[in-house]
Amino acid sequence: MPLWTYRGLKGGIKTAPWPIAALSTMPGLPEPIVESCPPGCEQCAMSCPTAAITVDQQLTLDQGACVGCNLCVEVCPSSVLVAPPRLARAVENRDDLRRRSGVEPGQPRLHPKGDARRLRKSLFIRHVDAGSCNGCESEIGALDNIYYNLHRFGIFFTPSPRFADVLLVTGPVTNPMYEPLLATYEAMPKPNFVVATGVCAISGGTNGGGDYARQGLGGILPVDLWVPGCPPHPAVIIDALLGLMGRQR
Amino acid sequence: MSQGQLAALGMGIAATLYVLVIAANLLRRLNVMTRLARAGLIVATLVGFIADIVGLPAGTSKVSIFVVGNQLVTWRMAPGALWILVPAWLAVLLAVWVRREVGTWWSLGAALAILGVLGLSGFNNGASMIFGWELMSLGGAVMLVSNRPDGEGSKGTLSMIGLLEVGSVALIVAVGLLGPHLGFGSFRADWAMRPEVISGLIGILFLVGFGAKLGIIPFYSWFADAYGVADGPTAAILSSLVLNTAYFALGRALLQWLPAHGPSTLFVGIVVAAAGMLSAIVAVLYAFQQRDWRRLLALSGAENAGIAVAALGAALIFQSGGQAELAGLCWIIGILHLMGHSLAKAGLFLAAKVKADRDASYRIEQTGVAHEYPATVGIGALIASMSLSAMPPAMGFVTEWLLFEALFHDFVLTSLAGRTTLILVGAGLALSAALSLATFVKLYGVGLLGGRREGRAVLLASRLTVLVLGVANLAMAVSLVFWEPFMRRADWPDPESAKALIDGLLIVPLSSSFAFISPVKFVIVGVLFALVPVFLIVRRFAPRRVAPWSGGEPVDLAASATTGFSFSNPLRTVYSFLYRPITTTQRSYRDQGYVLDRVTYEAHEAPIFGAGLIELLRRGVKQLARWMAPLQSGQLNAYLSYLLILFVIAVLAIFIH
Amino acid sequence: MRPCDEFIIDDPGELGDILAQLAADPSAPPRTYNRLQAIWARQVGDDIELSYLASAAIGEPFRLWRCRVSPGAEVPSLSPIVALAGSYEREVRDLYGIDFAGALDRRSLIFHHAKASGAPSQDQQVPIAPSAPTIVESPDLQLLRFGPVRADVVESARFAFSYAGEGIIHLETQLFYKYRGMEKLFEGTTPMMGSILAERVSGVDSVAHAFAFALACERAAGTEVPERAQQLRVLLAELERIYNHLHYFGLLAKLTTLKVGDAEGHYLEELAKQANASLTGSRFLRGLITPGGLRRDLDVSALEPVLVDLEERVQGYLGTLNGTRSYLDRIETTGVLETHVALAQGATGPIERASGLDRDLRRDHPYGGYDRYQFVVPDASAGDARARALIREEELFASFAIVQQILKRLDHGPIRVPFEAASLTGEAEGLGWVEGTRGTLIYAVYLEDGRLARVKIKEPSFSNWRVFPYTVDGTNMMDYAINEASFGLSLAGNDR
């Protein structure tokens, strides 16, 4: 019988110190950087698979609909769009995800809501898969591994909504999952919070729309946090949850 | 008129009414006869109940019936019989009142059985006693068969009669061995005259005889089968009045007739105690696995009878050691135990009737009966379940506690065998008590609770009887401190040396320095404690009611409810060497073995006594029948020739003698 | 080599006779490929065209039978002859309204959540057929409906267990809670955008899907992809296999309560994902494969030492795991899948290889240059969770070996040829297949004037989820989670 305990001790501590470097080194979602584009050019808008880009007076890229495929970056003739070397982080207002050319890309700090301050030390999350592609589940599942180690922040996943504080939803909300999602929300005690994780939950992404799925949580549940990314990096999810608790760094 | 004479008169009136009921049943041509029969039955039982109470505490007066040979056959019910039957009369009264179906032979059976009870407990003569015994069995059989006009109940009834007849044979042999005098008065002397071995054998024969009705191992096998075809009221009568009478008769035989301090007393006592304990354990193990209300309660009745028989055995052991007070104590405990048991068991059988009326099935399943009738069935069945699983403050707790305390007195004995037996009996009874708790948690939890399902309406009368019997059980426990001193006359074998079980408001086993409990105080303190959560329920926040959550889809309470089988399954697996469980899963497919159409799943335990003793007897009897088959040729000439041969033998016998 | 032999069937009534040759033959040798792969339909004008795709012998082209029927027509069902056809026919019925006469299971596959009254909801095209599901009769059994929102961070599906204490008597799976209609979302998009969509059909099989999709489009257009692009695609596919298999070892260790094993397994998966990120910028290797090659070049110079280190760690980890008696006890004889069931019900990937069916598209129908690499295709025959774990273990080391071979002789050339979809006029069709982590993945692509008109995805999880209940009936609750983890399936892939 091999000594797993000895093996574990020999392996040492693998938990990455927080904040994790990836937050500010990995390439994130594209943003417009110059003041204006050549007039009449809509190459980026036409190449976007989720129609995240609108070209009006200014170029607006909705990071809440951007899956990070970078097709727009590829087809843009004037290098207007660039993927910056930092990951896109969660926001409280949906509109804060819309990056506009000529507007300084800020990263508003997350403020905990009144009741959320009581959750400063510990948070329990109920995750619901409302029709995702499984990429978000893979990243959310990675939160419990020893590298990200979600437990050190006092954050745990629960099997039942009855003692959960946060409802973490992935996926665009397919028709069969609509009622179960609402039932799960109803089953949570107050105060509770809803986090839309991933582009599908924010705006439908590539999976939503069509006859069989809606376009994210907008209009279905009151959302407290929007976490962009397809899928969002585990560090971004941790940052979002800490922001909810008022412990963002 | 003295109390005793009044009581005897009352019993006489009741007996006459029962005979009239029997007559009315036989004159069925007139439609009104069956209704009259039912009314007569109710009135007769009421009269009997009142007469029983009136006759306490001294017993009825003696009534001379007739002369047989040169012996006077008299009838008198001893105080012990009156005490043990008081609650049984109440149970029977409620049972016959609740049973509304007319037009069957049921009232005939009930009247026969109760007449048998009166006979068995009252007659002073061995032959008459056995006559009463047979009447009881016949009455029970008629009641069972009358439930199913299509003959469906015949197998269970036959198995019951078969085993009861084994008991009858044992009784006849025992009475015969006791000597030429059939009168009870000389039984003790006759017994003392016999050599030791015969003496011990007589004791065992009485145990076998009366034990057949009490469900002593191995006779409890008919309990489940027979009760399984009965309805609630029938089973209530069988498990209260009939069971208690059988126990009283066994106690009378072993305590009054068996010579005290004889060497055989210790031997018989050990066998009786061990038999009682073993039947309690095995019966409750099987009871726990049952999935039918009636079968579970029947085997639980066998368990409680076993406990009372174990108490009787302890009384004999103490008696052989010269401890008359402790012997008397154990006998009183046995009586009290079956008094409480009759109320609780009848209450639960009538609750089974409520369930059957509502759901058309006696299966133990979660249909929310107690949620629909919380005030009557909910409370009544709860107290009854608590009593049968020895939970305070019900009567069953009081008697089991007293029995354990009595067993703990084993240190006064000098005989090692006696002490060891008492200790082992105590251990065995502890095991059976634990199992009976599990059994009644199952019965109440799976049988009465659960999500409410629609069912037929049940009459208020049926539900009320459950509450009445439950409350009576609790009242008996609480009021015991007040009326126990009156029981002293029933204290066998030596009423003079009987000591009270009471010290103020406490119940004590002979002395309060040894141990004590107080059901009165339990009830008072219990109510006070219950007030605490009531105050806590008044909350600061208004609760928000939401539907139950199950993965986001609506909950199907009926499909996911705990079944009787799944509750008992773990024990079934652990004790598989005893139960020899058989599970069959059948799958039928729409094609060559992939698309599943239907799955059926059945779980059984091997029959309680399939192999072993009964099988041997069965084979022996069959073999004998095969040998005798040629005699039954069916030809008239052959039978006439038998008569001729017998006539010749008789003539020769007369002339040669 | 021709990818596909095509046959046209004029009379639907002859379907049964013509396709009876696809019936599973248990006596066939383990490497036989004579098997139905998929059935699908597509709208052609007013008619509906049914396609039946089957694989033939090793190295032989696939076979495709097509049959044109009018809407609402009755077509004889193949399911009495070929058991695995049942699921495909139910899907075609739900989406296209074609009734299959003689089908053994007529329930709706996708639209189970519609009202039981049978009236069509806004989703479904046909009312639910009045065919009963399996009836479980017993007053002794309980029914546990688990889902669709399940405990822990897992995908949504519903499982109804009829159980007695520990023993599971019957399991009824109810999937398609995540049906997003992905195949329909492809319609009208360009192939370049289509590859973005394909990556997100099943998020942890992004490379496999994009690869199969790209191969299908390239076959449709007759494009030849340059050498470096082919090699890099194979590299990405094997990197994906590595992190997926490590995930399932971590999961198995977790379910057999080896805490350190669980931690180490998932840590190794994290290392693999971080290697992916440092190579491509995406932890799931997304945004690279496109019809015509790769969208941008990759710098593989830093990859080799990382992978050598990872392989060494994996060897130590799996060696320790295989020496842990408690772990082996839990997975041996758990969830046994018999060979004839695997064959008849269409198991694919590590699951079929663990049940004695020795098939692997990389070796037997090479694509993307796989015929140039040496690798072991493991096989076992016990069919239990241990066998599936063994297969995964050997596939892991085979993947490491393939990656090493690629890194040693990586071509220096272009990574993309222009795939001018807009210049394609008229209709074009292409078939692309890939041996993904979970088994055979096939894309059938129909292009019209350079845009996608119909895409059919035959997902390995779809085939394997059909097989899964056969390993559960008659087993016990304690083994269920381990069994499900040993299958390692994706619900997003199944539901699409």
| C140 to chain B: closest CA residue | B565
CATH number assigned to the domain comprising residue C104? 3.30.460.80
CA dihedral C347, C352, C355, C358 (to 10 degrees): 140
Nearest-CB residue to C153 (from A141, A171, A206):
A141
DSSP character string of C196-226: HHHHTTSGGGHHHHHHHHHHHHHHHHT----
* Predicted confidence (pLDDT) per residue in C111-149, tens digit: 877 644 344 444 444 444 445 566 777 888 888 888 799
Mean pLDDT in residue range B140-165: 81
Residue C126 is part of which domain span?
Answer: 4-133
What percent of chain C has pLDDT above 90?
50
For residue B389, what pLDDT is reported? Answer: 94
For residue C119, what pLDDT is reported? Answer: 41
For residue C262, what pLDDT is reported? Answer: 94
Q: For residues C36 and B386, give the distance between their C-alpha atoms in angstroms, rounded to a whole number.
A: 64
Mean pLDDT in residue range B278-306: 93
Q: What is the complex's ipTM, to 2 decimals? A: 0.92
List of chain C residues whose C-beta atoms are within 8 Å of the C-beta of residue B561:
142
3-state helix, strand, coil in chain B (%, to 5): 70, 5, 25
Q: Is the model's pLDDT at B299 over the cut of 50?
A: yes
517-576 of B, contacting A, C-beta below 8 A: 544, 546-547, 549, 551-553
Nearest-CB residue to B569 (from C165, C169, C473):
C165
Q: Is the model's pLDDT at C264 over the cut of 90?
A: yes
Neighbours of chain C (3+ CB pairs under 8 A): A, B
Nearest-CB residue to A180 (from B544, B546, B553):
B553
Does any CB of chain B come closer than 8 Å to the CB of residue C414? Answer: no
What tokens were used for C274?
A: 């971080």
**CA distances for B166 relative to B198, B214, B615, C126, angstroms:** 19, 13, 14, 70
CA dihedral B315, B320, B321, B326 (to 10 degrees): 20
For residue A2, what pLDDT is reported? Answer: 63
Q: Is the model's pLDDT at C57 over the cut of 60?
A: yes
| B553 to chain A: closest CA residue | A180
For residue C128, what pLDDT is reported? Answer: 43
The pTM for the full model equals 0.84
* Predicted confidence (pLDDT) per residue in B494-540, tens digit: 666 667 777 777 888 877 777 888 888 888 888 888 888 777 776 66
Contact B549 A162 (CB under 8 A): yes
Q: How many domains does chain C have?
A: 2
Q: Is the model's pLDDT at B183 over the cut of 50?
A: yes
Nearest-CB residue to B546 (from A177, A179, A187):
A187
Q: Is the model's pLDDT at C20 over the cut of 80?
A: no
Mean pLDDT in residue range B325-348: 92
- Lowest mean pLDDT across B224-233, B291-300, C246-255, C479-488: B224-233
The residues spanned by each domain of chain A are 23-87, 115-245
Residue C147 lies in a domain: no
Is-contact C354 C412, C-beta < 8 A?
Answer: no
- Lowest mean pLDDT across A96-110, B472-486, C165-179, C327-341: A96-110
Of the candidates B300, B309, B352, which has an alpha carbon nearest to the alpha carbon of residue B333? B309
Q: Is the model's pLDDT at B167 over the cut of 50?
A: yes
What percent of chain B has pLDDT above 70?
93
Residue C164 lies in a domain: no
For residue C133, what pLDDT is reported? Answer: 64
Q: Which residue type, as a one-letter code, is found at position C438?
A: R
Residue C74 lies in a domain: yes
Does any CB of chain C come closer than 8 Å to the CB of residue A27? Answer: yes
Band (pLDDT 50/70/90 cuts) for residue B648 is very high
- For residues C136 and C40, which has the higher predicted lDDT (pLDDT)? C40
Q: Per CB distance under 8 Å, which residues of A are interface residues toward B?
A: 128, 160-162, 177, 179-181, 183-184, 186-187, 189-190
For residue C6, what pLDDT is reported? Answer: 81
Residues 6+ apart with CB under 8 A from B169: none
For residue B493, what pLDDT is reported? Answer: 62
> How many Cα atoms occupy the beta-carbon half-sphere of C341 within 13 Å?
21
* Predicted confidence (pLDDT) per residue in C186-214, tens digit: 998 989 899 999 999 999 999 999 999 99
- For residues C228 and B257, which has the higher predicted lDDT (pLDDT)? C228
For residue C124, what pLDDT is reported? Answer: 47
Q: Is the model's pLDDT at A27 over the cut of 60?
A: yes
Q: For residues B334 and B544, give the distance between their C-alpha atoms in angstroms, rounded to a whole number.
A: 52
Domain boundary among C118, C133, C148: C133
| A180 to chain B: closest CA residue | B552
Please give the sequence-ordered ranges of beta strands (E in DSSP) within B442-522, or none if there are none. Answer: 502-503, 506-507
Of the candidates B511, B481, B507, B513, which has an alpha carbon nearest to the alpha carbon of residue B499? B511
3-state helix, strand, coil in chain A (%, to 5): 30, 15, 55
Residue C163 lies in a domain: no
Q: Tell me what the pLDDT averaged over chain B comes to.
A: 86
Of the candidates C263, C49, C153, which has an alpha carbon nearest to the alpha carbon of residue A166? C153
Q: Give the CATH number of domain A115-245; options: 1.10.1040.10, 3.20.20.140, 3.40.50.720, 3.40.50.12280.
A: 3.40.50.12280
Domain boundary among C92, C117, C133: C133
> How many Cα atoms occupy the beta-carbon half-sphere of B518 within 13 Å?
11
Highest mean pLDDT of the ranges A91-95, B350-354, C378-382: B350-354
- Lowest mean pLDDT across B194-208, B455-469, B564-578, C122-136: C122-136
Band (pLDDT 50/70/90 cuts) for residue C421 is low
- For residues B513 and A7, which has the higher predicted lDDT (pLDDT)? A7
* Predicted confidence (pLDDT) per residue in A33-63, tens digit: 876 677 778 888 888 999 889 888 788 889 9
Name the CATH topology of A23-87.
Alpha-Beta Plaits (3.30.70)
C336 and C200 within one domain:
yes
Is-contact B475 B585, C-beta < 8 A?
Answer: no
Q: For residues B589 and B598, give the distance between their C-alpha atoms in angstroms, rounded to a whole number.
A: 7
Band (pLDDT 50/70/90 cuts) for residue B151 is low
Mean pLDDT in residue range C479-493: 92
For residue A25, what pLDDT is reported? Answer: 84
* Predicted confidence (pLDDT) per residue in B536-553, tens digit: 776 666 777 877 888 888
Residue of C124, C196, C288, C320 to mutate when probing chain A, most A C-beta within 10 A: C196
The kind and range of the H/E element at C456 are strand C451-458
Mean pLDDT in residue range A174-196: 91
For residue B150, what pLDDT is reported? Answer: 67
Burial of C57 (0-12, 13-18, 19+ CB in 10 A): exposed
Q: For residues A171 and A201, give the distance between their C-alpha atoms in angstroms, rounded to a whole number.
A: 5
Helix axes C259-280, A4-11, angle to 10 degrees: 40
For residue C35, what pLDDT is reported? Answer: 85
- Lowest mean pLDDT across B11-20, B517-526, C386-395: B517-526
- Lowest mean pLDDT across B593-607, C181-195, C211-225: B593-607
Band (pLDDT 50/70/90 cuts) for residue B617 is confident
* Predicted confidence (pLDDT) per residue in B21-74, tens digit: 888 888 776 677 777 888 889 999 999 999 999 888 778 778 887 777 777 788
Residue C372 lies in a domain: yes
Q: Please name the residue that has the structure tokens 């059919």.
A: C456
Residue of A129, A185, A186, A190 to mutate when probing chain B, most B C-beta within 10 A: A186
Q: Is the model's pLDDT at B261 over the cut of 70?
A: no
Q: What angle do CA B29, B30, B34 make, to 5 degrees?
A: 100
Query: What letter would DSSP give residue C436?
Result: E
Nearest-CB residue to B603 (from C140, C158, C474):
C140
Nearest chain C Cα distance for residue A7, angstroms: 8
For residue C118, what pLDDT is reported? Answer: 40
CATH number assigned to the domain comprising residue C365? 1.10.645.10
Contact C153 A157 (CB under 8 A): yes
What tokens were used for B532?
A: 């605490």
Contact A186 B546 (CB under 8 A): yes
For residue B530, what pLDDT is reported? Answer: 83
| C194 to chain A: closest CA residue | A49
Does any CB of chain A come closer than 8 Å to the CB of residue C263? Answer: yes
Terminal-to-terminal C-alpha distance of chain A: 44
Residue C148 lies in a domain: no
What tokens were used for C296?
A: 């941008």
Band (pLDDT 50/70/90 cuts) for residue C2 is low
Query: Mapped to the 3 state alphabet, what secondary structure does B232-249 carry?
Result: HHHHHHHHHHHHHHHHHH
Q: For residues C487 and C496, give the distance between their C-alpha atoms in angstroms, rounded to a whole number.
A: 19
Contact A180 B549 (CB under 8 A): no
- Lowest mean pLDDT across B180-189, B635-644, C264-273, C318-327: B180-189
